[in-house]
Amino acid sequence: MEIPAIVGAGLIVIGVGYGIGRIGGSAMEAIGRQPEATAKIQTAMLIAAALIEGIGFAALFAV
């Protein structure tokens, strides 16, 4: 039985969503702990999220 590609897409979205969610949550915690480092944390968060997102898109387009 062949698994349809859309299932793969769904798995990708789950993975990427989990990953970006973790990054966002951790960033919030970090900002809560060190509000003075907000700018640095946000930058790092965006970069990390963008990298995961990039992989997610690459996989989605491969599907």
Would you tell me which residues interact with another protein (CB under 8 A)? 39, 43, 46-47, 50-51, 53-55, 57-58, 60-62
C-alpha torsion 35→28→42→60, nearest 10: 180
Looking at the Cβ atoms of 30 and 48, the one nearer to another protein is 48
Q: Any idea which residue has 């990427």 for tokens?
A: 16
Residue 35 is given by DSSP the state G
| Residue linked to tokens 């690459």 | 58
When the beta carbons of 14 and 51 are compared against another protein, the nearer one is 51
> Least distance from C-beta 53 to another protein, angstroms?
6
